[in-house]
Structure 1
């Protein structure tokens, strides 16, 4: 059976050169084929091997490439391209945590951000942590959401290309967030997601109430939505790719055929099929075998 080891660098720092590839080839079986996906940024190394030994190849390759700022995934070559993408929003599709930015408007960003960090590390139960943070937003004018979106929220590099490319190749794309629909609706529309799911912020008389709609969408709900989407589209879990950065993404990452930890907390990186520690979101395309000529600009 064919296996493939994909090396991916950040497009802003294309460090994959002949020397790095040679170091990788030195620990792979004779006859390994090199397929450049993007000059300096991504390369596939295709070889015959037993899938049960993929972890061993991963270990040897990581030792060979040393401290080079390169992400790596070893997997079966067959079935790499996925037909379903399910993604987290905060610190994944966007570069911020929306609730932290809202809290800045009441001078409580430091307090809220500390709770967010602990929740994302899995040190706090997500639902209670969300309720606690939401109470600190009580009294804010509802229009602050539009201000935060316009002035503070930025798309993660590669997000637009990831969505545009997967949709161009027929994939269904879902945004699921433990954040708020006030933000996911805008981000989903901007990037072209087919749907979005998140929590609702309580609003009364034009101000935030400090309450969150129940039930809260957290770890279990994200996994449940992935399972529902697989059934709705007649897909196997192997045909899905999930990406996120925090503990509440763990369940969907574990269910998907390819679960990706994106610049993630240690607890997530430890169990995901793939880690993106250096690259941007186009790494998810290179892991699926897309070449630069197939990637849409978004």
Structure 2
């Protein structure tokens, strides 16, 4: 009896731009040696192949074969793809914005703060002092502005609610862990269906931000510690965990997760992660686990923005 294939190659496109045509599948199959046929997970959006070989070599061959098409390629071990813990970054991952940049816009400093945010996410400067510097610029801002920002400026990343709902429906635990702020992760995490959220706490006095953040700051090492803590608490093996993020402060948790996914990430993060998604929405993380679109669960949130009915 032949040994089972050791790897699975998954092709993923954005649902808004279905790009996995029959011709693309033929090109991918040829690059993999023309072996087993593709399994279609969603017409035009996701397909997978069982393959043998070295993962890096197969991935390179597939990317060459599909060059110019908006298709993500991920090659991973076939065994143990379904995960039981999801740990997700929030800003620019589960939502499309950076919350601190939106706060800064209300004091006329969005450009200045956004530049610091970008440098911190690229890993060019240390996260913790960069956060302190940015928060200091928010001194005196009414805390009530947070509700307005969530209602008017924050939009969920497409597919995120379906990702959380489907994993939880299949017995997984979902944690939102952010270098941002609990004022945002609380309502946003609840709206997206997460089991829990962790973030930094902005200090408030007389209804206004003091310009300081509670210590210790939740950054790169705290995100990793959360992954390890939840893994232990839930009695999971390392391979049963999935982490997703986009910035340098996500690298440690991405590296220690069973599958670490860089989602539309900074170049250094994408280069270091186990997998990278540049075209697909967050349902890509379900296709990576072998879910077909027909298995997706309906999201549990009660409308958007959080608090809407």
TM-score (norm 2): 0.94
Distance (whole Å) between structure 2 residues aligned to residue 30 and residue 176 of structure 1: 42
Distance (whole Å) between structure 2 residues aligned to residue 105 and residue 30 of structure 1: 57
Trace 1:44-55 onto structure 2 (pairs within 5 A): 44-47=48-51, 49-50=52-53, 53-55=54-56
SS in 2 for 1:33: coil
1:60 corresponds to which residue?
A: 61
1:217 corresponds to which residue?
A: 218
Trace 1:50-129 onto structure 2 (pairs within 5 A): 50=53, 53-129=54-130
**After TM superposition, what 4+ stretches of structure 1 lie above 2 angstroms from structure 2?**
none
Distance (whole Å) between structure 2 residues aligned to residue 30 and residue 58 of structure 1: 15
Distance (whole Å) between structure 1 residues aligned to residue 66 and residue 37 of structure 2: 18
1:16 corresponds to which residue?
A: 20
- Point out where structure 1 has 5 or more consecutive residues left out of the alignment: none
Distance (whole Å) between structure 2 residues aligned to residue 278 and residue 297 of structure 1: 22
- Point out where structure 2 has 5 or more consecutive residues left out of the alignment: 300-309
Distance (whole Å) between structure 2 residues aligned to residue 182 and residue 31 of structure 1: 51
Q: Is 1:25 aligned to residue 26 of structure 2?
A: no
Trace 1:154-165 onto structure 2 (pairs within 5 A): 154-165=155-166
Deviations 1:17-63 (A, max 9, x none): 1100000111213432310000000001113x24xx11110011110
Give aligned pairs, total. 295
SS in 2 for 1:270: helix
> Do 2:29 and 2:35's aligned partners in 1 also have CA atoms closer than 8 Å?
no
Root-mean-square deviation over aligned CA pairs: 0.8
Trace 1:1-298 onto structure 2 (pairs within 5 A): 1-2=4-5, 3-47=7-51, 49-50=52-53, 53-298=54-299
SS in 2 for 1:67: coil
Moved more, 157-166 or 22-31: 22-31
Distance (whole Å) between structure 2 residues aligned to residue 225 and residue 130 of structure 1: 19
SS in 2 for 1:131: helix
> Do 2:13 and 2:44's aligned partners in 1 also have CA atoms closer than 8 Å?
yes
